[in-house]
């Protein structure tokens, strides 16, 4: 069996498995590849739909997730220096994800409610 024939039979087998129906063995490679693309797009779209439905179901989007440094500074009306100071003082805990500092929305909300993120002066 040549590589070309092997590739053709593999494409046919994959599409048969994915679609669950019989496919004409004599279809051209271009048609098989197009059918495989369609099956892949359909599977990916279904996967994305399920993931989105699971993420949305029963969750409050404002309470979940993370804020980056700029978003947090805008929300608290503080400068990046003040944010850095609060991190160093141990008031805020950040998570390093993908080379980026992220802050849990839930943690920030708790600190705001407890008054620990109120404006304060380092000088005493």
Residues 70-118: tens digit of each pLDDT = 999 988 888 999 999 999 998 899 888 878 889 988 888 888 888 877 6
Q: Do residue 85 and residue 110 come from a single domain? A: yes
105 part of a folded domain = yes
Amino acid 24: pLDDT: 59
92 part of a folded domain = yes
Question: DSSP assignment, residue 91?
Answer: S
Q: Do residue 74 and residue 106 come from a single domain? A: yes
Domain span holding position 81: 66-114
Q: Do residue 16 and residue 51 come from a single domain? A: yes
Residue 37 CB neighbour total at 10 angstroms: 10
Q: Do residue 70 and residue 110 come from a single domain? A: yes
Q: How many residues does the chain have?
A: 124
Q: Do residue 87 and residue 105 come from a single domain? A: yes
Q: Do residue 28 and residue 72 come from a single domain? A: no
3-state class (DSSP) for residue 104: strand
Instruction: Report in angstroms the alpha-carbon separations of 14 from 18, 22, 36, 39, 96.
Output: 6, 11, 8, 10, 40
96 part of a folded domain = yes
Q: Do residue 79 and residue 103 come from a single domain? A: yes
Q: Do residue 48 and residue 15 come from a single domain? A: yes
3-state class (DSSP) for residue 66: strand
Contacts of 87 (CB under 8 A, 6+ apart): 93, 94
Which of the residue ranges 13-22, 41-50, 52-61 would you say has the lowest mean pLDDT?
52-61
Q: Do residue 52 and residue 70 come from a single domain? A: no
Q: Do residue 75 and residue 39 come from a single domain? A: no
Confidence of residue 40 (pLDDT cuts 50, 70, 90): confident
């Amino acid at each position: 069996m040549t590589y070309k024939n092997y590739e053709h039979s593999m494409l046919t087998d994959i599409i048969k498995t994915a679609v669950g129906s019989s496919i004409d063995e004599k279809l051209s490679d271009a048609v098989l590849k197009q059918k495989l693309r369609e099956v892949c797009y359909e599977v990916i779209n279904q996967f994305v739909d399920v993931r989105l439905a699971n993420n949305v179901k029963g969750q409050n989007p404002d309470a979940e997730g993370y804020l980056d440094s700029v978003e947090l500074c805008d929300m608290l009306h503080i400068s990046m220096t003040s944010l850095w100071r609060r991190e160093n003082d141990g008031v805020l805990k950040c998570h390093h994800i993908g080379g980026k500092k992220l802050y849990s929305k839930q943690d920030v909300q708790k600190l705001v409610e407890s008054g620990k993120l109120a404006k304060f002066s380092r000088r005493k």
